[in-house]
Amino acid sequence: MNLIEQLVEKIEAHTDFEEASPAWVSVYRRERCYGGCEEGGWWYTVNALQGTIPFAALSAAEKWLEVAKEDVAKANRAEAPSRHAAMANLPDIDTAYHDEGYIPVGWSDGGDLWVTVESSPGQSDNTKEPRPHYE
């Protein structure tokens, strides 16, 4: 066994060694959107990727996830008044001519942010999927 092979074995046996396992810390905006008035009204969730940061190892991403969660919580608290105002000020629609009732299909309050660790960037983004419909 040559020197390089011995060194690799020694490093791999060390407790600090971990295989490269890329991971991403991704921030999403989660919006609850009105689907329609069927069965008393129904909602669906849209997760839109806002940004992602690559990490060489899952353990490093998981450590930074905790920091990111705190920042996202602060941002959500700062945005809360505008989300509540959006709910209080639904679009003015004449329901006699609008078959969805008082909330237009697809309407959202702007959503909130959430953060996660992913094995590939954008895994939870569902914005390219067709809008769900009632069956």
Residue 99 pLDDT: 52
The three-class DSSP label of residue 46 is: strand
Residue spans per domain, the chain: 21-118
Q: How far apart are CA 6 and CA 8, in angstroms?
A: 5
The reported pLDDT for the residue numbered 4 is 76
Give pLDDT, residue 66: 92
First to last CA, the chain: 66
Q: Buried b vs exposed e over 6-44: b needs ≥16 C-beta within 10 Å?
A: eeeeeeeeeeeeeeeeebbbbbbbebebbbbbeeeeeeb
What was the pLDDT predicted at 96? 45
- Write out residues in the chain with pLDDT < 50, as ranges: 95-98
Tell me the one-letter amino acid at 82: S
Structural contact between residues 96 and 10, judged by C-beta atoms closer than 8 angstroms: no
